[in-house]
Amino acid sequence: MYNSQFLKTDKDIKKSKQNFIDNNNVNSKNFNEYELNNLEYEVAIILDKRSYFQYYWSLLKKKQLILFTFLSFNDYNLFTLKFSLFLLSFSLYFTINGFFFSDDTMHKIHEENGAFNIIWRIPQIIYSSLVSSIINMILKMLSLSEKNILLLKQENDMKIAMKKSKEIEKCITIKFIIFFILSDLLLIFFWYFISCFCAVYTNTQIILIKDTLVSFALSMLYPFGLNLLPGLFRIPALRAKNKDKKCIYKISLLVALI
């Protein structure tokens, strides 16, 4: 008797969810990967039929800079801005690594006769990668327009959508202007700093380049490992039978933000 009541309740829940999808004309084909990744649990459990690898790949194309720039085609971001962000990011890593060359670093390089010892350079490489990643997050907020456009896409009322479109257009325009001004100023500063650094520390140029390549490669590689985690929560939560896994699903959304 208890089991039949449970099945009936579960059936009613599924029917309610399905009615929600039908009444709102929700179709997975109308969503891009970012929208699918951020669906409400009640909608995602019906619409999101992707495998673990498909979900993992969608996260990589958002979090890994090279994939995001050259392989993420179905988003609402301008390619020119994504490419500008990519070039700016490499210049940023180059400059930040130069900032971490202290007097102790120069002394150690002198003791090593200019040899590149990656073991004692690891802390500086990690620090520079973290600082560069934080600055990159700020630059992404200014250069990407997807979240703003999705706010308009989610509006069903045409009159409200027209009103919102003007506000969103103004917001995006201001963001882009700030991004271009900031990126130009940063590039001028990067050029000046690196030129001075290489002119003063002529024997350290190769080590700086190696440090930059290692820290940049580290930032390109860690998303491959970090983004394995969200799917371990999300996929079981969406595939569970006769159980509400909304809490686990929310955990996957939080982990995906890292």
Residue 117 main-chain phi, psi, to 5 deg: -105, 100
Q: What is the dihedral of CA 91, 96, 99, 104, to 10 degrees?
A: -120
What local confidence, expressed as pLDDT, does residue 24 receive?
54
What local confidence, expressed as pLDDT, does residue 19 receive?
55
Single out the residue of 145, 154, 175 nearest to residue 35, CA to CA: 154
Q: Hey, what are 3's tokens?
A: 């089991």
Q: What is the pLDDT along the chain (258 residues), one digit of tens a residue?
A: 334 333 444 455 555 555 545 555 566 667 889 999 999 998 898 889 899 999 999 999 999 999 999 988 888 899 999 999 999 998 998 898 888 876 666 667 666 665 656 666 777 778 888 888 889 889 999 999 998 888 888 877 888 888 888 889 999 999 999 999 999 999 999 999 999 988 888 878 888 888 888 888 888 999 999 999 999 999 999 988 767 788 999 999 999 988
Whole-model pTM?
0.81
Distance between the two ends of the chain, CA-based, in angstroms? 45
